[in-house]
Structure 1
Amino acid sequence: FIKTVMGDTSDNIPAIFPKCGYVTAKKCYENPEFYQKKKTEDSEKMFERNNQIINFDCIPEKLCEEFKTMLFSQ
């Protein structure tokens, strides 16, 4: 959650809120009311986008299988 909210500048993934770093992202995680107050329609869309990029659980199964096949065939 924290990584999704704060983004990753090294991978060109923007934060979902302006000037949102680790402290703000952690506060959003620990305080759902704070997160709800900051959240907008745009930030919710950015959260979903960031989550798809950052969260390993969102990697398509087909790609995982292709990677495993390639890795173990060498």
Structure 2
Amino acid sequence: MKKHRYSGFVHTRLESILRTLKIETLIITGVSTNFCVESTARDGFMLDYRIVLLKDACAAFSRKNTI
């Protein structure tokens, strides 16, 4: 599945797949925590999924990290 927006739910089949599989909890990880991970987590929450973010499996780019 290809993702074209920050959220994994926008213009994808993700919700359909999760509902078909009767998934209720999402464990979310990723690199762009302040963009993609956050957007997917918020959208998932708004769709009534239980959201778990793994602190040690998320990261974000910042100006501080690039200098």
With normalisation by structure 2, the TM-score equals 0.25
Q: Which has the larger radius of gyration?
A: 1
* Structure with greater strand share of residues: 2
With normalisation by structure 1, the TM-score equals 0.24
